[in-house]
Amino acid sequence: MNDRLKFAAFGGGLVVLFGAAFGIGSLVGDPTEPAAGHHTSATGEATGTGLRASESGYTLTALSAPTTTDTPGSLRFRIDGPDGAPVTAYTDLHEKDLHLIAVRSDTTEYRHVHPVRDAAGTWSIDWTWRTPGTYRIFADSRPAGAPGELVLSSTVTVPGPATDTPLPAVSRTTTVDGYRVRMDGDLSTGGSDVSFAVSKDGKPVTDLQPYLGAYGHLVALRSDDLSYLHVHPEGEIGSTPAGPRVAFHAQAPSADAYRLYLDFAHDGKVHTAEFTADAIGGATPGPNTHDRHEGGHQ
């Protein structure tokens, strides 16, 4: 893959509040304007893309979902093209036509899923909200004929008492489903290499399974505004070792806190390891390989 994608800073935002079960949400605010507190350029314009419902003539629209927690239903939406018609043809993007990312405003309740599209261009997936709160829904795709990959988004408010969870402290290690994952390297505004070493029961995992054409996928969200980037690892299946280490290259636009979500597959399941990381100014060297244990031990 060897995608050398950059972290993008995004502005903008909108709130969708559903008034009826599985109904079309009503818009609050202007999705083309940056929300208060979001990063902007020197001209006052929102920087980058990703927190807008519209980009390059394409629009995420007709979004509907269950209106209460613990109520099974369907999350549905479509993407309309520059001609105003629903898009029905897409260019393959890492083995899928579209990646859907959902996350609550406090960076919790992260999900990376893949809805299905009908002949009329409407995407849908079975959906249940676990907790109340405001969620941002990202649609990451490349419509056929589009100039490149597009990330369109809007937000949904699920009614009910919601308490924000504080951003977890910066940490080099985390555990998920019995796996221990360690992050090496630092995010920086000058560009840097970061990698993640996976171990289980004290032993390096050397048989990671391909997931969406790679041994790992990394989604990064800037904590203050949920600015989004989906990063894919360096190397390719067949020429890159299947663990324990998965390496990425990224460049952060600002020295801020980010929440990182690493998806990897092993033992027939996809696992998501979460980290909080601070991006620093300037360039940094790659991960320090001295005295490093591939099994994740410090």
CATH number of domain containing 86: 2.60.40.10
Quick one: 232 and 128 in the same domain? Answer: no
Strands 58-64 and 54-55: antiparallel
Beta strands per DSSP E along the chain: 15-17, 26-28, 54-55, 58-64, 73-80, 98-104, 111-113, 116-117, 122-127, 133-141, 150-158, 173-176, 179-184, 192-200, 203-204, 217-222, 228-231, 245-250, 257-266, 269-278
Residues counted in the chain? 298
Pair 30, 142 in one domain: yes
Query: Residue 7: inside a domain, yes or no?
Result: no
In a domain, 147, yes or no: yes
Secondary structure of the chain: what % helix, strand, coil (to 5)? 0, 45, 55
Distance CA 36, CA 30 (A): 12
For the chain, what is the domain count? Answer: 2
Assess if residue 168 is contained within a domain. Answer: no
Final residue belonging to a domain, choices 158, 190, 213? 158
Q: Residue 209: which CATH number?
A: 2.60.40.1930
Instruction: Among 107, 131, 158, identify where a domain stops.
Output: 158
Say if residue 189 is in the same domain as residue 141. no
- 91 & 152 share domain: yes
284 assigned to some structural domain:
no
132 and 256 assigned to the same domain: no
Residue 112 sits in the same domain as residue 179: no
Q: What domain range includes position 228?
A: 173-278
Q: How far is CA 201 from the centre of its chain?
A: 28
pLDDT confidence of residue 39: 55
- Amino acid (1-letter code) at residue 96: K
The residue behind tokens 């419902």 is: 53
Regarding beta strands 179-184 and 192-200, do their DSSP bridges make them parallel or antiparallel, or are they unpaired?
antiparallel
Q: Is there a single domain that holds both residue 149 and residue 62? A: yes
Do 145 and 43 lie in a common domain?
A: yes
Asked if residue 5 is part of any domain, the answer here is: no
Q: Is residue 265 part of a domain?
A: yes
Q: For the chain, what is the total number of helices (H) and then of strands (E)?
A: 0, 20
Residue 167 belongs to a domain: no
Residues 141 and 53 in one domain: yes
* Phi, psi torsion values for 155, nearest 5 degrees: -120, 150
Whether the Cβ atoms of residue 85 and residue 66 lie closer than 8 Å to each other: no
Q: Are residues 105 and 226 in the same domain?
A: no
Whole-angstrom distance, CA of residue 206 vs CA of residue 79: 39
Domain contains 178: yes
Residue 16's pLDDT is: 27
Strands (E), 22-93: 26-28, 54-55, 58-64, 73-80
Query: 10-residue block means of pLDDT along the chain (298 residues)?
Result: 36 28 29 43 43 95 97 98 98 94 98 98 98 97 94 96 95 98 91 94 97 92 87 85 94 86 97 95 54 33
pLDDT computed for residue 141 by the predictor:
96
Instruction: Say whether both 96 and 34 belong to one domain.
Output: yes
Give strand pairing partners of 27. 16
Taken in order 284, 39, 226, 114, the sign of the CA dihedral is negative
Shared domain check, 187 and 89: no
Q: Please give the pLDDT value at position 88.
A: 98
